[in-house]
Structure 1
Amino acid sequence: MDRHSVDWHGYWVAAPTPFGDDGLIDPDLHRAMIEMYIAQGVKGLVVNGSSGEWWAQTLQERKTNAELFVTISGGRIPVIVGCSGFTPDYVVALAQHAQHIGADGVLATAPAYVHPTQQEIFAFFSEIDQRIDLPLSIYNWPLGIGTEIEVSTMLRLAELDHVVSIKNSTGNLVALRQAVVELSPIVRVFANLISPAGIDVIQNYGSDGFIDGGGLGAPFGVPFFEAIDAGDIDRAREVAIKYSTLMTGLWNPDFSGRFAAPVAQLKAAMQMLGQPGGVVRSPLLPLSDPSSTAQLHELLSSVGLLSVE
């Protein structure tokens, strides 16, 4: 497999897991959320990724969550199942379940907490690759994992049989650009290039899309890639400026949240927008600070997502 084995492109969402007020998985909220994303024109979904609070779910809940996304989506858009875990056995078990339920692919980070070396990262994914059949997306997530996958390692990983894409959520802009340049001919590269500067990178070197945590930026991200595909650079730049304003207001340069933990501020924003994001699970706490809540409301209003009250 390689980049030509899948047609993954454009603006995707790494969906939150919409727990109900009782803290349990809520199929009705799932349906409402998935239908919202499809109506927004989102090109694909990732379930049980960083925004999906996979660490707060039991193994069975992760499977149930994946089944709901695949079943409700019904093949209308691709669904990739996040299978991150500490050992290859755990990742493979989730990947095999994802194949059984009809998912389009799987995604995994390097193991968190252990700070693996680059050789250990390659060995980890190499073992997984040998034991799965679905297309595999490698997720570089230094903030959550504590270790950056170097571009040289990504190039080695791109040669594995089932690797078709890299989700590169690094704050290292030099490495990000290098990854786009060197990896795009081999695998699909998903990176946050929805910015005026990102347009230049896309035009010169290419990029396939972006997998956005929670999809607050869908009103800008979806038309951004549509404009890029149509060659309408003025329109792409127009929506990119609004998207950049939103993202700069929400995230610090290392992708930590400005108002709360990333998923907590995401779900708070979704609640403000009347979107079915559900509540967070322990160890996360909901955003409750009045000052931060007011600032988040002001940010959403400033980019036109929320009416000023």
Structure 2
Amino acid sequence: MGNTTMHFEGIYTPVITPFGEDHSIDYDAFAAQVQYLVDAGVQGLMVGGTTGEYYVESHEERVKLLEISKQVAADKAIVIFGTGSVNPDHSIKLAEDGAKHGADVILLATPPYSLPTQRELALHALTIDRAANLPIMLYNYPDRMGVNMEEEFFDRVARSANFQAIKESSGDINRLHMLARDYPHIQTACGMDDQALEFFAWGAKSWVCAGSNFLPKEHLALYQACVLENDFNKARRIMSAMMPLMRVLEQGGKFIQSVKYGVTMDGRYSGEVRRPLRGLNKDDKRAMNQVVKTLKTTIASILAEDSAEQ
């Protein structure tokens, strides 16, 4: 397939992995979640992102989740397959199997914990690229990986046309400026929820957002306002309504649990989290309920008002 240019546009959901009481994967619940997202109209699915708890899943589990996603999504959404692992050999194997099982794109992260130099990181990335030969979305998340992908890295991987996008999750707005100005050929995807408006203002066209697991309509509304309608006044109001949710999700290391609880609130099975994480307590749940309710009402009224004016 190599060298197909992908246009990353829209909402890409890093899909949760529902675990049963015994912490095994509930594949039916996963398929139902994928179906829900496809029906809601998200443009892409990310399997094996941080939100999917990839770091506590076996190789076989990760590949099976990819197969189910491809089956359910058919051609209605693109599927991005995460290859992240502490051990680069495992990432190479994931990249190979990703290509074998129909991934449209691979997600390529920094190996966490080892703190590679930019040159080492580039060699790692080029090796994984050779294993899959698919379009690549890079994943820059220094808070979890310990290292940033920097200019030297981008310059070194430029020899392969497969490096087409980057999910930027550093939270550093200066990196967004650098990517937009110095690397316009790499499509920037927002990976830091509370900066979505800024990313769109700087020309990003896609947003990888965990909250779209249970609020796809509202996340799509922001993308539509920014990218399709170029209406940043409306977008600012939508974003403003979303900010309390971002705060709840980002505070205190309960990101994945909160997203899973959001799916539960929405009436689908999201199950347990795997260790070392533990589920939310009553107060967390109450806060989440309140925030989501207000967000939905507020955004619905912004959208209703907007269509009344047209």
User: Which moves more between the two structures, 163-172 or 224-233?
Assistant: 224-233
Q: Does 1:218 find its partner at 2:216?
A: yes
User: Which moves more between the two structures, 143-152 or 32-41?
Assistant: 143-152
Q: Measure the CA separation in 2 of the matches of 1:220 and 1:143.
A: 27
1:207 to 201, 204, 208: 204
User: Which moves more between the two structures, 159-168 or 108-117?
Assistant: 159-168
Q: Matched residue pairs, number? A: 295
Task: Mark the runs of 5 or more structure 1 residues left unpaired by the alignment.
Answer: 252-256
Equivalent residue for 1:301? 293
Give the alignment of 1:227-246 within 5 angstroms.
227-228=225-226, 229-246=228-245
* Alpha-carbon distance, 1:155 to partner: 4.4
The verdict on how the C-alpha distance between 1:26 and 1:249 changes in structure 2, with shifts beyond 3 A counting, is closer
Residue identity opposite 1:226 in structure 2: Q
The secondary structure found in structure 2 opposite 1:22 is: coil
Residue identity opposite 1:101 in structure 2: H
The secondary structure found in structure 1 opposite 2:132 is: coil
The verdict on how the C-alpha distance between 1:200 and 1:17 changes in structure 2, with shifts beyond 3 A counting, is closer
CA deviations on 1:192-231 (whole Å, 9 max, x unpaired) are 5877x8646644x411211112524423220112222123
Q: Measure the CA separation in 2 of the matches of 1:194 and 1:146.
A: 20
> TM-score, normalized by length of structure 1?
0.86
The verdict on how the C-alpha distance between 1:155 and 1:207 changes in structure 2, with shifts beyond 3 A counting, is farther
Identity in percent: 25
Equivalent residue for 1:254? none
The verdict on how the C-alpha distance between 1:155 and 1:220 changes in structure 2, with shifts beyond 3 A counting, is farther
Give the alignment of 1:15-94 within 5 angstroms.
15-94=15-94
Equivalent residue for 2:305? none
Give the alignment of 1:114-263 within 5 angstroms.
114-183=114-183, 185-192=184-191, 199=197, 202-203=200-201, 205-215=202-212, 216-228=214-226, 229-251=228-250, 257-258=251-252, 260-263=253-256
Asked if the contact 1:15/1:214 (under 8 Å) is kept, the reply is no
CA deviations on 1:46-71 (whole Å, 9 max, x unpaired) are 00110111111111111111111111
The verdict on how the C-alpha distance between 1:158 and 1:225 changes in structure 2, with shifts beyond 3 A counting, is farther
The secondary structure found in structure 1 opposite 2:84 is: coil
Q: Measure the CA separation in 1 of the matches of 2:78 and 2:49.
A: 15
User: Which moves more between the two structures, 155-164 or 61-70?
Assistant: 155-164
Q: Measure the CA separation in 1 of the matches of 2:215 and 2:120.
A: 35
Asked if the contact 2:92/2:127 (under 8 Å) is kept, the reply is no
Q: Measure the CA separation in 1 of the matches of 2:232 and 2:172.
A: 25
* Alpha-carbon distance, 1:274 to partner: 2.1
The verdict on how the C-alpha distance between 1:194 and 1:171 changes in structure 2, with shifts beyond 3 A counting, is closer
Asked if the contact 2:218/2:296 (under 8 Å) is kept, the reply is no
* Alpha-carbon distance, 1:305 to partner: 6.7
CA deviations on 1:79-113 (whole Å, 9 max, x unpaired) are 01101123443212111111111110111211011
Q: Measure the CA separation in 2 of the matches of 1:42 and 1:150.
A: 30
Q: Which has the higher helix share?
A: 2
